Amino acid sequence: MRKAVVLLSGGLDSATVLALALRQGYACHALSVDYGQRHRVELDAAVRVAHTLGAVEQKTIRIDLTAFGGSALTDSSIAVPTGGVQKTGIPVTYVPARNTIMLSLAIAWAEVLVADDLFFGANAVDYSGYPDCRPEYMRAFERMANLATKAAVEGRRLTLHTPIIAMSKAQIIEEGVKLGVDYGMTVSCYQADAEGRACGECDSCRLRRAGFEAAGVADPTRYFTAPA
Amino acid sequence: MRKAVVLLSGGLDSATVLALALRQGYACHALSVDYGQRHRVELDAAVRVAHTLGAVEQKTIRIDLTAFGGSALTDSSIAVPTGGVQKTGIPVTYVPARNTIMLSLAIAWAEVLVADDLFFGANAVDYSGYPDCRPEYMRAFERMANLATKAAVEGRRLTLHTPIIAMSKAQIIEEGVKLGVDYGMTVSCYQADAEGRACGECDSCRLRRAGFEAAGVADPTRYFTAPA
């Protein structure tokens, strides 16, 4: 059975990607990163999702990106926008180099596990504002990774799979429902409370709710305020 | 004054790179990474070196790579080789994806600081066994970084400077001596003791000592055993 490292945040997208990787027959090692995010409760969701879907193991690595700040998710003095998804520019919820840091940790673990496959739930459709969610970034990361490691020098090749990068949120949800993912276990909200209940107003909540609506799937999200 | 992020381990190479970046007129923000390395005492040296040479500030970020292991530096059950520098292959002191992880943290900080320059003390001559010290890796990382960040999307360009990548250890030392670096402050040994004294027998000690000999510079290193 081929091993894969799957980045698992505890949100909807990465849960779907884990289900897809398992369906493809990979023995999945789920990696979550506690980077000091506001919505740290998503990490509890990651543990539940990994266990329920059937990952071989799940690890949470801690790295304190609040030391750098520069994002509403890692600096408590910057508020999470709740007025609606902005149409242009990069939102303040973008965390500098976060995806690069998480993928770097994934290649480290992959090398130790002797795994040649990484799965990452980046999505370029509903989060088009984030530079490190673009397909050209993914290709550049994969190319770099294939020069970075001992495995690469020894002739093995690492593949970075981004199976949902071109899907709409509705398509991701439809795919996950087919695979039996219980999205009630996942936490997407940028300011979820300690019980994992969602605000219903941040970009992540809005995109998620619109996805359930567009897919015609009942939204299992627990909200702490009534959705707008 | 242009800002730069300089990766500073506390060893000889990165101290020289910091001195070079300062000489070029950069306001230097020194970044050290506590990744669970055996020779954690090098981080005390990083603080001293940053302060003495004149960095604007120094930060140490903690990320526990012992969670993955796979290296003599991050797994206490793998011994540091002391029998002489191996001629071929990648030594067990190689830490999977370490340079990628450290450079990823550097681009995160650079983005928050609005710095367009990174300095990294990789060396491809005396450490040719490490895949992530090769010039082709550095170019691929820089290319990826220029797709990863908000700065890149906004048209700014990040440059990864590796000024000592093609120098011999003796040339690095000659350069540093000209710049007034006191190498007695630095710690290179993979198994330095709590006072920063060196074993004299690991690869890092052997390469360093040979560098001082070849440069005709008195070795200021404090050893806890007599060098072989």
pLDDT at A206: 94
**pLDDT band for position A127 (50/70/90)?**
low
**pLDDT band for position B227 (50/70/90)?**
low
DSSP class of B185: G
Distance CA A127, CA A137 (A): 14
Q: Percentage of residues in chain A with pLDDT exceeding 90? A: 85
Using the beta-carbon criterion (under 8 Å), do B136 and A148 form an inter-chain contact? no
DSSP class of A80: P
Using the beta-carbon criterion (under 8 Å), do A112 and B69 form an inter-chain contact? yes
Using the beta-carbon criterion (under 8 Å), do A64 and B69 form an inter-chain contact? no
Distance CA B4, CA A71 (A): 20
pLDDT at B128: 61
Distance CA B208, CA B127 (A): 11
Distance CA A19, CA A58 (A): 14
**pLDDT band for position B1 (50/70/90)?**
confident
Which residues of chain A lie closer than 8 angstroms to B96, CB-CB?
107-109, 111-112, 149-150
Using the beta-carbon criterion (under 8 Å), do B64 and A62 form an inter-chain contact? yes
Q: What is the largest CA-CA distance in chain A?
A: 55
Q: Which residues have a Cβ under 8 Å from the Cβ of B155 and sit 6 or more positions away?
A: none
Angle between helix axes B12-23 and B42-53 (nearest 10 degrees) is 20
Strand pairing class (A117-119; A57-62): unpaired
Q: What is the largest CA-CA distance in chain B?
A: 55
The β-bridge partners of B32 are B60
Average pLDDT over residues B64-75: 93
Using the beta-carbon criterion (under 8 Å), do A70 and B112 form an inter-chain contact? yes
Q: Percentage of residues in chain A with pLDDT exceeding 70? A: 97
Write the CATH number of the domain with boundaries A3-215: 3.40.50.620
Suggest the residue from B130, B143, B153, B156 to mutate for an interface test with chain A (most A CBs closer than 10 A): B153
Suggest the residue from B75, B144, B157 to mutate for an interface test with chain A (most A CBs closer than 10 A): B144
Using the beta-carbon criterion (under 8 Å), do A132 and B149 form an inter-chain contact? yes
Q: Which residues have a Cβ under 8 Å from the Cβ of A26 and sit 6 or more positions away?
A: A1, A2, A3, A4, A6, A117, A119
Question: What are the residues of chain B with a beta carbon less than 8 Å away from any beta carbon of chain A?
Answer: 59, 61-65, 67-70, 90, 94-101, 104-105, 107-109, 111-112, 131-132, 134, 136-137, 140-141, 143-145, 147-150, 152-153
This model of the complex carries an ipTM of: 0.94
Distance CA B83, CA A183 (A): 55
Q: Percentage of residues in chain B with pLDDT exceeding 90? A: 85
pLDDT at A225: 74
Strand pairing class (B57-62; B3-7): unpaired
CA distance B201 to chain A (A): 24
Is pTM beyond 0.90? Reply is yes
Q: With contact defined as beta carbons under 8 Å apart, do B172 and B211 qualify?
A: yes
pLDDT at A86: 80
Average pLDDT over residues A202-211: 94
Using the beta-carbon criterion (under 8 Å), do A150 and B143 form an inter-chain contact? no
Which residues of chain A lie closer than 8 angstroms to B147, CB-CB?
131-132, 134, 136-137, 140
Higher pLDDT, B74 or B225: B74
Helix (H) or strand (E) holding A33: strand A27-34
Higher pLDDT, B209 or A86: B209
Residue of B nearest to A114 (CA): B70
Distance CA B42, CA B197 (A): 10
Cβ of A42: how many Cβ atoms within 10 Å? Answer: 25
**pLDDT band for position B212 (50/70/90)?**
very high
Using the beta-carbon criterion (under 8 Å), do A153 and B99 form an inter-chain contact? no
Of A99, A108, A153, the CB nearest to B97: A108
Suggest the residue from A63, A74, A120 to mutate for an interface test with chain B (most B CBs closer than 10 A): A63
pLDDT at A128: 61
Using the beta-carbon criterion (under 8 Å), do A100 and B67 form an inter-chain contact? no
Distance CA A58, CA A63 (A): 16
Residue of B nearest to A99 (CA): B148
With b for 16 or more beta-carbon neighbours within 10 A and e for fewer, the A116-152 pattern comes to bbbbbbbbbbbbebbbbbbeebbebbbebbbbbbbbb
When mean pLDDT is compared across A24-33, A175-184, B69-78, the lowest value belongs to B69-78
pLDDT at A150: 87
Q: Helix count (H) and strand count (E) of chain B?
A: 7, 5
Distance CA A83, CA A71 (A): 17
Question: What are the residues of chain A with a beta carbon less than 8 Å away from any beta carbon of chain B?
Answer: 59, 61-65, 67-70, 90, 94-101, 104-105, 107-109, 111-112, 131-132, 134, 136-137, 140-141, 143-145, 147-150, 152-153
pLDDT at A43: 96
Tokens for B172, please give them: 């690095």
> SS3 letters for B97-165?
CHHHHHHHHHHHHHHHHCCCEEECCCCCCCCCCCHHHCHHHHHHHHHHHHHHCHHHHCCCCCEEECCCC
Q: With contact defined as beta carbons under 8 Å apart, do B77 and B83 qualify?
A: no
Segment B171-199, tens digit of pLDDT: 999 999 999 999 999 999 999 999 999 99
pLDDT at B91: 87
In the block, tokens 């990648």 appear at: B90
Cβ of B71: how many Cβ atoms within 10 Å? Answer: 25
pLDDT at B65: 94
Average pLDDT over residues B41-62: 97
Distance CA B118, CA B221 (A): 28
Residue A226 has pLDDT above 80, yes or no: no
Mean residue pLDDT of chain B comes to 94
Using the beta-carbon criterion (under 8 Å), do A96 and B111 form an inter-chain contact? yes
pLDDT at B153: 85
Average pLDDT over residues A162-191: 97
Average pLDDT over residues B157-176: 97
Tally A–B CB contacts below 8 A.
137
Residue B93 has pLDDT above 80, yes or no: yes
Average pLDDT over residues A195-211: 94
Dihedral of the CA atoms B114, A125, A35, A37 (nearest 10)?
100
Distance CA B198, CA B206 (A): 10
Domain boundary assignment for chain A? 3-215
Average pLDDT over residues B2-7: 98
Q: DSSP 3-state assignment of B63?
A: strand
**pLDDT band for position A152 (50/70/90)?**
confident
Q: Assign residue B225 a region: left if phi > 0, alpha if psi is -120 to 50, beta otherwise? A: beta
Q: Measuring CA to CA, how many Å separate B5 from each of A168, B30, B71, B188?
A: 37, 6, 27, 21
Q: With contact defined as beta carbons under 8 Å apart, do A31 and A6 qualify?
A: yes
Using the beta-carbon criterion (under 8 Å), do B148 and A136 form an inter-chain contact? no
Segment B113-123, tens digit of pLDDT: 999 999 999 99
Segment A87-113, tens digit of pLDDT: 788 889 989 999 999 999 999 999 999
**pLDDT band for position A227 (50/70/90)?**
low
